[in-house]
Amino acid sequence: MDSSGSNGYFHILLGSLTAILLPLASILQCGIRRKTQTPTTTTVTTESADIKQGEPHKSYKEKQNEGKEEKKEEISKKKEQTSEIKKKKEEVIKTKEEKSKKEIISAKKEVKKAKSSKKDEGEGKDSKKESQTQSVKVIKQGKSEEKTKKEERSEEDEDEEGDDEKDEKE
């Protein structure tokens, strides 16, 4: 019984091993077949897949060159935009300068008219000082306000000194 019992276990063990090993062998054979296939078939399939999608097959260098061309186009567009912005800024500055020049010229004309009308009235030296302060104010409009304020203060101080001298004479 011992010998016949061990034979039964042996057959069961052998049957289970074959049941496990046969599928493994077929899997290994498929893997070996795949490795031995020629690579031309795979490239043909990828090319045909690219053509089906509507994109022609491109080499790696061509793809890199396309990226560089796109970057160059973007850079050129940015340069054009910055040059347009600079031109617009220059135009704005020119128009502002022209306007300020026109304002200064018109203010000078008004000052001259005021001088001539005050001379006709006979006010004399006081009218000259006032017209000078007006012309200084007009000319300094384009410049900083602090300078005009300082000049006005100094002129007022001079006027006060002149008034003090007149009072002393009287």
Asked if residue 154 lies in contact with residue 161, where contact means CB atoms within 8 angstroms, the answer is no
Residue 158 belongs to a domain: yes
- Write the pLDDT tens digit of every residue in 93-135: 999 999 999 999 988 888 888 888 877 766 555 555 566 666 6
- In-domain check, residue 168: yes
CA torsion sign for 157, 163, 167, 168 is positive
**Considering the domain boundaries, does residue 164 fall inside one?**
yes
- pLDDT tens per residue across span 139-168: 656 555 556 566 666 666 666 665 555 555
In-domain check, residue 7: no
- Which tens digits make up the pLDDT trace of 20-69? 888 888 888 877 776 666 555 555 455 554 555 555 566 777 777 777 88
Q: Domain total for the chain?
A: 1
Residue 132: Cβ within 10 Å count: 13
Say if 152 falls within a structural domain.
Answer: yes
The distance in angstroms from the start CA to the end CA of the chain is 160
Domain that holds residue 108: 94-170
How far, in Å, CA of 135 to CA of 32, rounded? 101
